[in-house]
Amino acid sequence: MKRSPLKCIKNISSNTLFALAIFMAAIMPAVSQAAVKEISITSSQHLSTFYNTRNGNTNTLDRGEVGAIFGEGYSRLYEKFILPAYDPSVTLTSGLLWTPITARSMEVYLTDGNWVSFNYYTAPNPIGGLVAKTATNISQKKPIDLTEYLNKAYKNGTPVGFMMKSSIEGQNWTDFTGFPSGAQTLSLTFTSAVPEPETYAMLLTGLGLMGFIVRRKRKS
């Protein structure tokens, strides 16, 4: 009469069960562990527009400027980023990093990533929501948490854009911050719940070992 696999497992020696328990304990954390990948994306459009009553708009490609100019106008910085292809198994945490040259207070707004004209800079009010109002650190990378916004954009497959402006724009004060070219990067951390291929291999090996022991026990 054939014995059921459950009875076979019950008859396995305590030493064998102990060895299997250690093996599976080593495997299970790897199965539940998430795969993490961090990348940085440089801006696909780096554009500064200075506006005042004398000069109007000036397109500066080699340098980003943010500031309020006493009695004349302002300078705003726009950055656009193209996100990687969407993967539904992945969640994303992210931040916008920049390296200012001078320590001034400024605001960062979300914008339409498809923006291409100067009209945005001369609009009376910023387009999009305020992300952060902060004082910068001289020559240091300063992060802004953009996780919620970027996860929506990532899922929709749309470009993302940000505008930086002086927090005292429109007041009779001079407040100017310069950024080196390419100083703004988008730092993304991708976290996937799907195990790595090595984890699958370990799990299959463990199941195969258990099956081998059961078959051997049957024969004996």
Do 66 and 24 belong to one domain? Answer: no
**Number of compact structural domains in the chain:** 2
Whose tokens are 């920049």? That residue is: 98
Could you tell me if 181 and 79 lie in one domain?
yes
The amino acid that residue 205 corresponds to is T
Same domain, yes or no: 12 and 57: no
User: For residue 118, is pLDDT > 80?
Assistant: no
Residue-wise pLDDT for 52-107, tens only, equals 655 666 655 555 678 887 777 777 777 888 888 888 888 888 888 877 777 777 88
128 with 109: CB under 8 angstroms? yes
Host domain of residue 64: 35-192
- What DSSP assignment string belongs to the chain? -PPPHHHHHHTS-HHHHHHHHHHHHHHHHHHHPPEEEEEEEE-SEEEEEEEETTTEEEEESSEEEEEEETTTEEEEEEEEEPPPPP-TTEEEEEEEEE--SS--EEEEEEEETT--SGGGTTSSS-SS-EEEEEE--TTS-EEEE-HHHHHHHHHHT--EEEEEEETTTTSSS-EEEEEETT--EEEEEEEE-SPPHHHHHHHHHHHHHHHHHHHHHHH-
What is the CATH number for 111?
Answer: 2.60.120
pLDDT at res. 88:
84
Domain match, 88 and 176 both: yes
The pLDDT value recorded for residue 6 is 45
Residue 25 sits in the same domain as residue 63: no
Is 90 found in the same domain as 23?
no
The answer to whether the beta carbons of residues 78 and 111 sit under 8 Å apart is yes
Q: Which tens digits make up the pLDDT trace of 175-202? A: 777 776 666 788 888 888 755 555 555 6
AA letter at 110: L
pLDDT the model gives residue 198: 59
Q: Are residues 166 and 211 in the same domain?
A: no
- What is the rounded average pLDDT of the residues 192-216? 61
Q: Which pLDDT belongs to residue 14? A: 52
Q: Find where tokens 């562990």 sit.
A: 33
Same-domain check for residues 152 and 83: yes
Is the domain of 138 the same as that of 206? no
Query: pLDDT at position 202, please?
Result: 63
Least confident residue range of 36-40, 80-84, 121-125, 201-205 = 121-125
Q: pLDDT for 138-171, tens place per residue?
A: 777 777 888 887 888 888 887 788 888 888 877 7
Rounded CA-CA distance 200/27 in Å is 9
User: 34-43, 109-118, 202-211: which has the highest mean pLDDT?
Assistant: 34-43
Distance between CA atoms of residues 99 and 50, nearest Å: 20
Question: In this structure, are 71 and 170 located in the same domain?
Answer: yes
- Same domain for 78 and 17, yes or no, is no
Residue 31: band (very low, low, confident or very high) from pLDDT cuts 50, 70, 90? very low
Same domain (yes/no): 83, 112: yes
